[in-house]
């Protein structure tokens, strides 16, 4: 007998964010978790969840902005799931889009809520930029905390000067190659 499943999907924006609170207290049969920015198109666990769900299943997501990068992406993803007769439940919004029957009101509601969420994210980013500019003008903005300690930077530069592959150095230090190159450029500018 094929039992319908409740499949959870969780996405956090960074490695240090906690996933526990997103579907806390929500029962699921299987859970997929991505640690990636919403704007990132590479969300392997979302793709795995979409491949996993079957007709009659429910995909459970904390909120619309956790599932999609923008309104267009949200509408497409939910539409494709509904076409496969998979329901989508958004916990924060308290709404479920049925994979069994078409409901024009659901589609309208999803479009409006997705649009509001996208607008809200844009406003937050704009406020953040304004706050940083004000802090810079006051001389209190210090920027992002350095990824590496001074000792690690010294080691990085010695290894790079010794001809070791940059990708290997970056991987060993747990940084991106771009961050590695930024540290090397700082040395050249000094």
- Within a domain: 142: no
- Do 100 and 19 share a domain, yes or no? yes
Q: Are residues 110 and 161 in the same domain?
A: no
- Which H or E run includes 33? strand 30-35
- Listed range (12-21, 108-117, 157-166, 172-181) with the worst mean pLDDT: 12-21
Tell me the per-residue pLDDT of 19-43, one tens digit each, with 9 for 90 and over.
666 787 788 899 998 887 656 667 8
92-109: pLDDT as tens digits: 888 888 877 767 777 788
pLDDT tens, 48-71?
999 999 999 999 998 888 888 788
Domain boundary, last residue among 98, 117, 136:
117
Q: What is the pTM of this model?
A: 0.61
Q: Could you give the residue numbers annotated as active site?
A: 13
State whether 21 and 110 are in the same domain: yes
How many domains does the structure of the chain reveal?
A: 2
Inter-axis angle of helices 177-189 and 166-173, nearest 10: 110
Same domain, 79 and 166: no
Q: With the CA atoms of 65, 66, 71 and 74 taken in that order, what torsion angle do they form, in degrees rounded to the nearest 10? A: -150
Q: Is residue 134 part of a domain?
A: no
What is the residue range of 37's domain?
6-117
Arithmetic mean of pLDDT, 151-170: 92
């Amino acid at each position: 007998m094929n039992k319908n499943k409740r499949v959870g999907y969780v996405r956090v924006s960074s490695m240090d964010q906690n996933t526990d609170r997103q579907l806390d207290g929500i029962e699921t049969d299987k859970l997929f978790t991505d640690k990636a920015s919403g704007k990132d198109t590479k969300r392997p666990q979302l793709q795995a969840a979409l491949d996993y769900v079957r007709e009659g299943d429910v995909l459970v997501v904390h909120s619309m902005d956790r599932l999609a990068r923008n309104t267009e992406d949200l509408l497409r993803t939910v539409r494709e799931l509904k076409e496969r007769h998979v329901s989508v439940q958004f916990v924060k919004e308290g709404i479920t889009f049925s994979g069994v029957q078409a409901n024009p009101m659901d589609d309208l509601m999803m479009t409006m809520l997705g649009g509001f969420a996208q607008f809200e994210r844009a406003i937050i980013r704009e406020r953040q930029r304004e706050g940083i500019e004000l802090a810079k003008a006051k001389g209190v903005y210090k920027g992002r905390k350095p990824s590496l300690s001074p000792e690690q930077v010294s080691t990085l530069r010695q290894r790079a000067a010794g001809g070791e592959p940059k990708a290997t150095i970056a991987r060993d230090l747990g940084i991106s190659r771009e961050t590695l190159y930024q540290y090397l450029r700082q040395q050249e500018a000094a």
